[in-house]
Structure 1
Amino acid sequence: MSHTLFHILKAECPNCHKGKIFDKQSILTIGFPKMNKQCDHCHTQFNKEPGYFFGAMYVNYMLNVAQGILIYFLIRPFFDGPFDLRMFPIIAGFLILFTFFNIRLSRLLWIYIFKNYAN
């Protein structure tokens, strides 16, 4: 499992772990991800069918909700009560900051979830 997480964070091909999924090397790159159509090494197709990455939107939503909850609990001790409207801009700012990371990570997770489907 730890090897899989390592390969996901390095954005490597789920099949051979040698080719890159994105054009840019780092998962922390700012901007909308430009994906390779296939692995340079084993020629695995990353986009299996039209609309394949619609499911990655749900993974992205899950990541945003989890991060929002985590940020809420991290900043909660700095406010008087459990609900303060000043928390919303802080949480929103962090979620906007994580946007490009989440897009890449959600696509990577989606590819790895279905890596053996319709190779």
Structure 2
Amino acid sequence: MVRLVKKIIRGKCPICGKEKVFGSKGNVFLFKAPKMKECCPNCQHKFEKEPGYFMGAMYVSYALSIAEMVTAFIISRLLGVPSDYILYLLLFIVMILWPFNFRMSRIIWMYLT
């Protein structure tokens, strides 16, 4: 179980666990999206099995975003951030973490299916 979580966090291939799924992580500030490899260089596993395969990853991304926003909301309330600014803080966090959510949701989806 620990090995599985490590492979997911590191973004490794779900079959061999040796090569990374994404070639680039993306950059929010440069408006670059993460770039996914077509197949694993080690085991030749094709990552996108069919068109629309990653539609289910949207649900995983939604769950990740909600978890991040709930965590940020609780921390901001504990730190005494005024209620007027919490919405802006949550929007900022979601915008900054979208490349991470994109990568993690696809990797988690590949491991689930």
TM-score range, shorter chain: 0.7 to 0.9
CA distance in 2 between counterparts of 1:39 and 1:96 reads: 29
Aligned residues: 108
Q: Which residue number in structure 1 is paired with residue 63 of structure 2?
A: 62
Q: Give TM-score scaled by structure 2 length.
A: 0.88
Superposed displacement of residue 79, structure 1: 4.0
Q: Give TM-score scaled by structure 1 length.
A: 0.84
Q: Which residue number in structure 1 is paired with residue 94 of structure 2?
A: 95
List, as ranges, runs of 4+ consecutive aligned residues in structure 1 with deviation greater than 4 Å.
none
Superposed displacement of residue 85, structure 1: 2.7
Q: Which residue number in structure 2 is paired with residue 8 of structure 1?
A: 8
Which of the pair has more CA radius of gyration? 1
> Which structure's residues are more often helix, by fraction?
2
Q: Which residue number in structure 1 is paired with residue 106 of structure 2?
A: 107
What SS does the corresponding residue of 1:53 show, helix, strand or coil? helix
Unaligned runs of at least 5 residues, structure 2: none
> Which structure's residues are more often strand, by fraction?
2
Q: Which residue number in structure 2 is paired with residue 19 of structure 1?
A: 19
Unaligned runs of at least 5 residues, structure 1: 115-119
AA aligned to 1:33 is P
- Percent sequence identity over aligned pairs: 33
CA distance in 1 between counterparts of 2:81 and 2:41 reads: 51
Q: CA RMSD in A?
A: 1.4
